[in-house]
Chains A and B, each alone.
Chain A
Amino acid sequence: MNNVESETPALQPIIPAYHIRILEDEQLDQLQSATLEILEQVGIHCPSEKALHIYAEHGGLVDFSRQVVRLPRQIVLEAMSHAPRFYTMGARQPSFDLKLDGKALYCATDGCGVETIDFKTRQRRPSKKEDVATMARVSDYLSALSFYWPIVSAQDFPKTAPLHEIDASFNNTIKHVQSETVMGEWTARYAIEMADVVAGNEQVRRQRPPLSLLICSIAPLAQDRDGLESALLFAEAGLPVGFMSMVNTGSTAPATIAGTLVTGDAEIISALVLIQMAFPGAPVYHSLLPGVMHPHTGDYLGSTLEGSQLYPVATEIAHQWGVPTLAGIFGTDAMVPGWQSAAEAESSLLLCALTGAETGSGLGLVESCMLLYPESIMLDADVYHRIRIESSRLDTSPEAMALDVIKEVGPRGHYLAHRHTRINLRRRQFSDLTGQPRQGGGYRDPLEVAREKVDWILENHHPQPLEKAQKEELTRILNAADREKGH
């Protein structure tokens, strides 16, 4: 079927008119000192010979037999001084580039779920590459989404899934793609090759990188070998790389919030230091998503009553180190889209925006980032726009104040017929999910409207495709990777 190419709507990042500080300077200093103390005295387990050598060559105190590195305070501060505070994450078209300049919050989908509620049958099933592609196309259409995380795993390509996820993403959105699953040198080399295809040349890849990477640390205080080694390759290629810690109070971190924050921060900083030692000035970001352990189940809970303050606090910690952040947003613990998924999302997203987070991920999944309901992304986008508008400045211009109109109408009148009303009522922003009249009276269920909108996007939105040569090159790379892994 030939689909008519459609334009990708312009991005609508959150540009807050206000800012807020949660932690005092003294508290931030206390937290940073504690992180430095952990790095210097306790150390980080780092099961990568390559990484350990880099640390050792740059002043890290390495115990090769235990694979533990301890980092003196001055070494950490010196390495971190090279990390850029601002940089650009590129897209296929420059107008979709993300300028991380501290003025806007750009958001992405969640990832990487493992199950999907099927788009047609509504049956729950393991996720596959087609889901990644489908949701990339939906995300391409939504102005709330500034970049794309492969939202679920391409489990139909078990050995090379991360590369197939990138392929599905690049082929279905012109926006920046950030992988959270590329692990290990082997996979990273192929991923970088794919980024080269989209960028066209090395200069563009470095100046407007179309691909970035997120690596998770292992709490408490350990790094993953494959993760670190793929991160080093990305950094070498000039592609942004971030480290995420998901420490959990009471199980993989102390049962107090401050202790949890510094444990996770030490994991992230140790990795950022490594990257800066190896490639000074490489674009990096900090992502601290502490959870609260459920005492009965041991579950990581991202959205407890007090827990939603933690993600914005983590933004302030990142900025104290002078690096941008990927904030935790959305990522509900709810089992289905509904009251809980909305209840958990809002204040945390607003606070991340007001504390100046540059990027955030997590629209579109439920069950703590595991399950894709196609309509979730529409619901989350609606919430996103509420927060986006909430954080913008109120218009008090003479036109908005409308004093002449008020005088004209006077007491007891009405404004329905006034020209000012006709012009301005159209400018007011209503949800396109709520308040939709149902034929025969009443209002439609917003979830039903959301499902319909997903169907509409899939029917009608076909973003600008990659050039034929680029597509073929990506396929060639994938085939080579599949062959090598024996897929």
Chain B
Amino acid sequence: MPTQYPPLEPLRTTYRLRFLTDKQLDDLQSATLEIMKKTGVRFPSKKCLTIFADHGAQVDWESQIVRLKPDLVFKALATVPRYFMMGARNPDYDLQLEEGVTYFTTDGCGVETIDFDTRERRPSRKADVGMMAKISDYLPSIGFVWPMVSAQDHGVSAPLHEIDACWNNSVKHVQSETVMGEIPCRYAVEMATVIAGSREELRRRPQFSLVVCTIAPLVQDTAGIEGALVLAEAGLPVGFLAMPTLGTTAPATMAGAFAMGDAEIISAAVLMQLYAPGAPVFHSLMQAWADPRTGGYVSYSLDSRTRYAPVEMAHHWGMPSLGACYGTDSHEAGTWQGAAEVALDPYMAGLVGADIVTGMGLSETYTLLYPEQVIMDNDLYQRARYQLMNLEVNEETLALDTVHAVGPGGHYLGQRHTRNHIRESLVRGITHQIGEDGKYRDPREVAIEKIDWIRKNHIPEPLENEKQTELRRILVAADKEICKG
């Protein structure tokens, strides 16, 4: 019997914070337009260059650099939908993007796992993807599923096995961040069609979407961008993620890194609209730092404004945004650093109005899976969710009659009003669980226990047998074709 599912708990809020002024947003947009017009973006794909050339862009075939005039950019982006639907296996979990609602997912795509049973560190595999999809399926904070780690036991067709593991363990929308190239993307669309039942239904309620990374500075990845065209043609949402690093692959100032990363994203979004007008696309910019001493990639400095300003840039273009939360640089779950770096993230994502957000659950800068980390990140998420709710001020909550009845110096323990409300008054996270000794338990220990509970007790609504069989058939074919390739 599948477990009774709790309803989703996205961030919903009427509060809104504007980080960037209108002028700053205009200045950033102008800078992006200038970069696309004068410097250009390299598209190492004949197919993409041809699409651009057909629509009047200035293409340098030798350097593979495309330069886009502002009027072409705006004309192409005019067909971008501001909101769209991300469908799910179970329609109750469809995500209709809309103002004031933010849906979260896990992080990805890690390469190592702290084993669920032995607690040994080892390379990640398909079973880990399935297990974490099952855990994501259970958690109401998670609106859609990212394969959290790589299915490294399946070689070059790992990305397809990752989405297979997700659909077999969760009824929620699946978003891949690893499927790359035209052929793998065609297989992924075929798998999504199996889940949806038909191409038409898939286009209406896309149960699969894709994130494609750009290459800083100002380059697209051949396989990534050609794969994205496949999804756009099928009407599946596709997002472009720029990860400029201050001082190495981007200027050492944030505004410069933003404008440059934005140019990478917008140039790709323009291509999608030229190829398939109206295709659902989303914008994602996750800027990082180079450690000045080592050149190492630093996900969190003291300055995390960069996490949220790009959300406003996306909205300024009229596109939804995939916001970036979590992904601590800490090497272990449950450390001070693991909270100090990320604790504010979900709150800020809600406040700035990100549409969808990644990613709970990984350590070591998105590379290492501690199973309990997702529960700890979930606790931070729930704090944000409550903080973003409106406070109830009415006759019942003001309780003036009760205050009169108790008067100065009394206590409220025996009041009916207290009995009626005491259960809801404390929303207990993992930090306020009492142990047998009467003291509060270590939150990490509680998180590990909760993961074990979900593993043992949550039974996701199973995928129909014939669909399972069909997915397996597609995987066999893909393994054969991709491995051969």
Q: Which residues of A contact B (CB under 8 A)?
A: 18, 20, 22-23, 27, 30-31, 34, 37-38, 41-45, 68, 218, 220-222, 249-259, 262-263, 292-297, 301, 303-306, 308-309, 313, 333-335, 337-347, 350-351, 354, 379, 382-383, 385-387, 389-390, 392, 394-397, 399-403, 405-407, 409-416, 418, 420-421, 423-431, 433-435, 437, 442-443, 445-447
**Contact: A415 with B247, CB < 8 Å?**
yes
Interface string of B12-38 (1 = CB under 8 A from A): 000101111000100110010011001
Measured between C-beta atoms, what is the minimum distance from B453 to chain A in Å? 19
The answer to whether A339 touches B432 (Cβ under 8 A) is no
Query: Would you give the shortest CB distance from A442 to chain B, in whole angstroms?
Result: 7
A43-B408, A250-B422 known; 5 new pairs, CB 8 Å cut-off, are: A38-B400, A294-B434, A343-B376, A410-B40, A430-B302
A-side contacts of B5, CB under 8 Å = none
B39 in contact (CB, < 8 A):
yes
Q: Report yes or no: B336 in contact with A396, Cβ–Cβ below 8 A.
A: no
Is B252 a contact of A406 with CB atoms below 8 Å? no
User: Counting chain A CB atoms within 10 Å of each CB, which of B15, B39, B407 scores highest?
Assistant: B407
User: Any chain A CB within 8 A of the CB of B1?
Assistant: no
Q: How far is the CA of A390 from the CA of B65 in the complex (A)?
A: 36
Q: Which of A45, A294, A412, A446 interacts with B42 by CB under 8 Å?
A: A412
Complex-state Cα separation, A332 to B20, whole angstroms: 32
A379 B340 Cβ-Cβ under 8 A: yes
Q: A297 contacts which of B303, B376, B403, B438 (Cβ < 8 Å)? A: B438
Indicate whether B198 reaches chain A with its CB closer than 8 angstroms: no
- In Å, the complex CA distance between A22 and B389 comes to 9
* Set of chain B residues within 8 Å of A420, measured between Cβ atoms: 251-253
Give the Cβ gap from B181 to chain A, nearest Cβ, in Å: 21
**Whose C-beta in chain B lies nearest to the C-beta of A247?**
B412
CB distance from A223 to the nearest CB of B (A): 9
Closest to B438 in A: A297
Known interface pairs A30-B398, A257-B397, A342-B340; A402-B255 also in contact (CB < 8 Å): yes
Q: Which residues of A are found within 8 Å of B219, using beta-carbon distances?
A: 411-412
A112 to B89, CA, bound (A): 55
Partner of B302, one of A337, A386, A397, A446: A386
Query: Shortest distance in angstroms between B249's beta carbon and chain A's nearest beta carbon?
Result: 6
Task: State whether A255 and B39 are in contact (beta carbons under 8 Å apart), knowing that A31-B393, A342-B343 are contacts in the complex.
Answer: no
Counting chain B residues whose Cβ lies within 8 A of the other chain, the interface size class is 35 or more
B35 neighbours in A (Cβ, 8 Å): 403, 406-407
Tell me which residues from 233 to 292 in chain B have a Cβ below 8 Å from any Cβ of chain A. Answer: 246-256, 259-260, 289-292
Q: Cβ of B425 and Cβ of A343 under 8 Å apart?
A: no
Please encode chain B, from 292 to 336, with 1 for each CB lying within 8 Å of some chain A CB and 0 for all others.
Answer: 111110101111110001000000000000000000011100111
Given contacts A343-B343, A395-B255, A407-B35, A415 and B217 within 8 Å (CB-CB): yes
What are 7 inter-chain pairs, A to B, with CB distance below 8 A? Answer: A220-B411, A250-B418, A340-B431, A347-B347, A350-B347, A394-B20, A424-B251
Asked whether any CB of chain A lies closer than 8 Å to the CB of B382, the reply is yes
Cβ contacts under 8 Å, A397 to chain B: 255
A403 to B37, CA, bound (A): 12
B379 adjacent to A343 (CB under 8 Å): yes
Q: Would A220 and B431 count as touching, CB distance under 8 A?
A: no
Greatest chain A CB density within 10 A among B304, B403, B418 is at B403
Say yes or no: is B206 at the interface (Cβ < 8 Å to chain A).
no
A437: shortest Cβ distance to chain B, in Å? Answer: 7
Q: How far is the CA of A393 from the CA of B459 in the complex (A)?
A: 47
Contact of B409 among A221, A335, A379, A401 (CB under 8 A): A221
A354 to B341, CA, bound (A): 19
Q: CB < 8 Å: which of A296, A411, A428 contacts B246?
A: A428
Stretch at the interface among B129-137, B164-172, B439-447: B439-447
Task: Identify A395's interface contact among B218, B253, B393, CB under 8 A.
Answer: B253
**Nearest chain A CB to B173 CB, angstrom units:** 26
Measured between alpha carbons, how far is A313 from B392 in the docked complex, in Å? 12
Q: Do A254 and B249 have beta carbons less than 8 Å apart?
A: no
Inter-chain CA distance A36–B39, complex, in Å, is: 65
List residues of chain A with CB within 8 A of the CB of B384.
Answer: 347
B386 close to A406 (CB less than 8 A): no
Q: Given contacts A253-B412, A339-B444, A421-B247, are A292 and B344 in contact (CB under 8 A)?
A: no
Q: Are A68 and B398 in contact (CB under 8 A)?
A: no
Q: In the complex, which of the residues A41, A68, A220 contacts B406, with contact meaning CB atoms closer than 8 Å? A: A220
Known: A305-B429, A414-B248. A347 touches B383 (CB 8 A): yes
> Chain A residues with Cβ under 8 A from B409's Cβ?
45, 218, 220-222
| A344–B298 touching, CB < 8 Å | no
Contact A339 B338 (CB under 8 A): yes
Do A415 and B252 have beta carbons less than 8 Å apart? yes
B434 touches A23 (CB 8 A): no
Going nearest first, the 3 A-B pairs with the smallest beta carbon separation are A402-B256, A259-B399, A254-B399
Residues of A within 8 A of B19 (CB): 18, 394
A42 touches B403 (CB 8 A): yes
- Say yes or no: A254 contacts B347, CB within 8 Å: no
B438 touches A385 (CB 8 A): no
Bound complex: CA of A442 vs CA of B364, how far in Å?
11
Residues in B with CB closer than 8 Å to A406 are 35, 39, 217-218, 251, 256, 259-260
Question: Are the C-beta atoms of B217 and A405 separated by less than 8 Å?
Answer: no
Interface centre among A20, A337, A401 (most CB of B within 10 A): A401
Asked if B391 CB lies within 8 Å of chain A CBs, one says yes
Q: Which of A31, A296, A418, A434 contacts B337 (CB 8 A)?
A: A434
Shortest CB-to-CB span from B38 to chain A, Å, is: 6
| Docked-complex contact A400 and B253, CB < 8 angstroms | yes
CA gap between A37 and B259 in the complex, in Å:
55
Is B396 in contact with chain A by the CB < 8 A criterion?
yes
